[in-house]
Amino acid sequence: MTMTITHLGTGSRGNSTLLETPHAKVLIDQGFSGTQLAKRLARLELSPDDIDCVFITHHHGDHGGGAKVVQTKWNIPVLANERTALELDLVPELTTYFESLDLVRVGQDLAVLPVPVPHAGSENVAFVASHEGERAAIITDLGSWTDELVTHVRGCEHISIEANYDHNKLMFGPYPYSLKDRISGRGGHLSNEQTGRFLAEVCTEATRSITLTHLSEKNNRPHLAESTVLYYIDEVFSGDLRISAQNGPDFSHYIGQDKASSKQEKASAK
Ligand SMILES: [Zn+2]
Ligand SMILES: [Zn+2]
């Protein structure tokens, strides 16, 4: 049995990730308009009606801005912590509140664990999804990390994590000082180097795929993110490393027993 991880798009203009098991289809974040979401799902031959529920990491528009529309337009349940739900003004009857570190079960073969991460002005969480003993971590928008996060992510088969900015590009770039400070601070975003160091702590032999997400269009470049991260994980990781762009879906990662390569080709051909 397989769990599929597909980023419908990541970046400051919207984020959403599809997790699929034989019995569940969930989205992590919904930062797109209803039309954009439907369009991106259609490329995978899916529609919003196929989605069982949507988990939201935090209330920033690029992650939660499209949460309410899936409730009002398609009656899809949304799961969030209380602060995030309040900030997004979610429809109470279609909202389930979770607490950090309380495992949420979806259908008969998927469980999702919210783990708190530091990100200023929000109560952000990362998610570790498990399916038949294999785990995928989806981590975004954090300025630093905790031992608790390391504990939960270490040894995951798949890890998606932001590599937001290249340190030099940010510091010598056009942003005002206050914004540079905010992005690079403890509650901001991870630089390529920080992402590399985090991955070096959590990758084990079990880790087979990594996706770098949420690259800044101004302060990063895919080749910089890739080469910097690889520098840190070269010794510990020999799997598949990819970069998710703003306009997806471009590819899927599969974890589990029957990683059908034909399916992989099908997704990347679209
Ligand atoms: Zn974001
Ligand atoms: Zn954010």
CA distances from 118 to 62, 65, 81, 204, 258 (A): 17, 20, 15, 24, 36
pLDDT tens digit string along 62-71? 999 999 999 9
Q: Within a 10 A sphere around the Cβ of 34, how many other Cβ atoms?
A: 16
Evaluate whether 66 touches 33 at the Cβ level (below 8 Å). Answer: yes
Q: Which ligand is nearest to the CA of 29?
A: 1
Element (H, E) at 181: helix 177-184
Rounded distance, CA 104 to CA 118, Å? 21
- Residue 264 pLDDT > 50, yes or no? no
Ligand 1: distance of its center to the CA of 125 in Å?
Answer: 12
Q: What is the mean pLDDT of the chain?
A: 94
Ligand 2: distance of its center to the CA of 148 in Å?
Answer: 20
Q: Which ligand is nearest to the CA of 63?
A: 1
Ligand 1: distance of its center to the CA of 63 in Å?
Answer: 6
Ligand 1: distance of its center to the CA of 29 in Å?
Answer: 10
Ligand 2: distance of its center to the CA of 103 in Å?
Answer: 23
> What is the predicted pLDDT for the residue at 241?
97
Per the structure block, which two tokens stand in for 117? 């991460």
Q: Within a 10 A sphere around the Cβ of 147, how many other Cβ atoms?
A: 8
Which residues is 9 bridged to in the sheet?
Answer: 16
pLDDT tens digit string along 99-130? 999 999 999 999 999 999 999 999 999 999 99
Ligand 1: distance of its center to the CA of 253 in Å?
Answer: 21
Burial (CB < 10 A; 0-12, 13-18, 19+), residue 139, is buried
- Residue 61 pLDDT > 90, yes or no? yes
Confidence of residue 262 (pLDDT cuts 50, 70, 90): very low
- Residue 60 pLDDT > 80, yes or no? yes
Exposure b/e, 174-199, CB count within 10 A at least 16 = b:
ebeeeebebbbeebbbbbbbbbbbbb
Burial (CB < 10 A; 0-12, 13-18, 19+), residue 46, is middle
Where do the domains of the chain lie? 3-246
Evaluate whether 28 touches 138 at the Cβ level (below 8 Å). Answer: yes
**pTM for this model (two decimals):** 0.94
Ligand 1: distance of its center to the CA of 207 in Å?
Answer: 24
Q: Which ligand is nearest to the CA of 214?
A: 1
pLDDT tens digit string along 126-156? 999 999 999 999 999 999 999 999 999 999 9
Give the CATH number of domain 3-246.
3.60.15.10
Ligand 2: distance of its center to the CA of 24 in Å?
Answer: 26
Q: Which ligand is nearest to the CA of 117?
A: 2
79 contacts: CB under 8 Å, gap ≥ 6: 53, 54, 55, 56, 95, 96, 97, 98, 104, 112
Q: Which ligand is nearest to the CA of 164?
A: 1
Q: Which among 90, 113, 88 has a CA at the least distance from the CA of 100?
A: 113
Packed helices 34-42 and 67-74: angle between N→C axes, nearest 10 degrees: 80
Ligand 2: distance of its center to the CA of 188 in Å?
Answer: 8
Ligand 1: distance of its center to the CA of 258 in Å?
Answer: 33
